Structure 1
Amino acid sequence: MNLLYLDNIYKAYDEKDVLNGLNLDINKGEIVFLVGPNGAGKTTLVKIILGLSRPDEGTVLLNSKELRVPFSNTDKLCLGYVPDEPIFIEYLTGLENLKYYCKLYNKNSSNEHLLSIMKAYDIYSSADKFVKDYSRGMRQKLSLCFIDIIHPELIIMDEPTIGLDIISIDYLREHITKLKEKGHSLLITTHDMAFCQGIADNIYILNNGKTSKLNKDYTNETNALLFKNKILDNIK
């Protein structure tokens, strides 16, 4: 059953088509990756889903109902977003930022629970440091902590592997699989082709304003070279 369905989405900026009749669907409990070159429209698409930008034409359906701006409280709780440029309150510590966002989302999480999440991403030792002193990689890891705090139906992640080390990427892959097992759906934009394979249910290539869906064979890790060549063929 479709959780999210984008039907014939058009979006242009300065008379230049960015999305040109785009279609995309995500089923419940499914991991979907969206790959494409810079400027292909991935960020524009994410903004439309989140209600930060409106399509010129087309419809966005969430649980078979049209998603309209402003979102209802129910719709807001269905969507979770991890941006590629993490946004935090600079003069709060990492732990204080997590506690603050827990309050915004009415999530009751103990300090011990939040610290255990930070430990999994190897930022436990920086829990009491101001975020202004965090590196980009540390900010990205702190942003990913929200995966374990907020449990919406659909989690949208924009380039989540940027700045992460191998251990954290392995943890992320493992946890994404666990979220799927619990019935969550994920839409993930990425340039990391290796990250897609092995955990993706479906992979869409976005280019020239439209998406093309790869055959499931390309989601298998043993077909890494075929997968790379297929993507390059689609973006020429």
Structure 2
Amino acid sequence: MIRAIDFHKAYESTVAVAGLSFAVLPGQVFGLVGPNGAGKTTTLRALSGLVPATRGRLEIAGLDVEQHPIAIKQQTAYVPDDPQLFDDLTVGQHMDFFASVYRVADAETKTHQLLQTFDLIEKVDQRANALSRGMRQKLAVCCGYLYSPQAILLDEPMTGLDPPGIRNLLESVRQRAADGAAIMISSHLLAMIESVCTHVLVLDRGRSKFCGPIDTFKSQFESAGAPASLEQAFFAATSGELSAGASL
């Protein structure tokens, strides 16, 4: 559903991503982790069609991202870490707008369910510029979920969320994956990644350090016969103890 083949992205003389290849199948949840500047946001923005690849190929549902921009957007939801909403529109108007653009069937029912799940029902008539940081994040997720995309890209989605919001978001990720969506989540919260993701893609300075099942990644750093935590494995991988590009 989501695929990168020898993906490179450079900004003038700065290489953000170099030779990245991976595939996310329906039902999988990929955690995208790495230090600041590792290329995580660049990768998600390129997959969503917001920035072009310098070299290589990116695909969503078998379609080339650059050659089929409209079809890609119909299949993909991208929620950035600082979503840009329409400040003068209310919560309900945002949902109506997305329902119209994506021609969502039974939009009223789906809107109600999403706003209820993310505790935004009471804010339906409130403008976006009056919402808290966490509520804006929730609204962006609701807008992204409304048209049932098959590829979901979440960049630091926990920013500003309270504990109930985090719990609801993680449960929604599990449910969307169970329904067949392919999901990528970028986050520095390794405990969260470990709790919800089936696979992990570890980036360091634009290069893949590991790509594969999260349990396999942890098992490579056993201590006294027990797999390491994701945090332990992450620090070992990014400190050079795991060869670049390892994949299982």
Counterpart position of 1:129: 126
What RMSD, in angstroms, separates the aligned Cα atoms of the two structures?
2.2
Distance in 2 of aligned mates of 1:153 and 1:164: 24
- Is 1:146 aligned to 2:146, yes or no? no
Match of 1:228 in 2: 231
SS of the residue aligned with 2:8?
A: strand
CA distance in 2, matches of 1:208, 1:195: 22
Q: What's the offset of the Cα at 1:68? A: 2.4
1:208 aligned residue: 205
Shift in CA distance, 123/129, structure 1 to aligned 2, threshold 3 Å = same
Which residue pairs with 2:3 in the alignment?
A: 5
Could you tell me which runs of 5 or more consecutive residues in structure 2 were left unpaired when the two chains were aligned.
Answer: 219-225, 240-248
What residue is the counterpart of 2:221 in the other structure?
A: none
**What residue number does 2:194 align with?**
197
1:172 to 169, 173, 184: 169
1:162-192 Cα distance to aligned partner (Å, 9 max, x none): 1111112111111211111111111111111
Q: 1:85 and 1:62, CA in 2 relative to 1: closer, same or farther beyond 3 A? A: same
- Provide the rounded CA distance (Å) in 2 between the counterparts of 1:21 and 1:229: 26
Q: Is the CA contact (8 Å cut-off) linking 1:197 and 1:218 kept in structure 2?
A: no
1:149 and 1:67 mapped to 2: Cα distance? Answer: 21
Q: What TM-score, normalized by structure 1, do the two folds share?
A: 0.88
Give the secondary-structure state (helix, strand or coil) at the position aligned to 1:129.
coil
Q: Which of 76, 84, 87 pairs up with 1:87?
A: 84
Query: Matched residues, percent identical?
Result: 25
| Residues 202 and 211, structure 2, Cα contact 8 Å, conserved in 1 | yes
> Which of 49, 53, 56 is the equivalent residue of 2:54?
56
Name the residue aligned to 2:222: none
Q: Which has the higher contact order (CA 8 A, sep 6+)?
A: 1
TM superposition outliers: structure 1 runs of 4+ over 6 Å: none
2:83 maps to amino acid? P
Please give the per-residue CA displacement for 1:109-159, whole angstroms capped at 9, x wherever unaligned. Answer: 454542342232222222111111111111001112135412111111111
CA distance 1:184–1:155, change in 2 (3 Å): same
Counting matched residue pairs gives 231
Amino acid paired to 1:85? D
Gaps of at least 5 residues in structure 1 are none
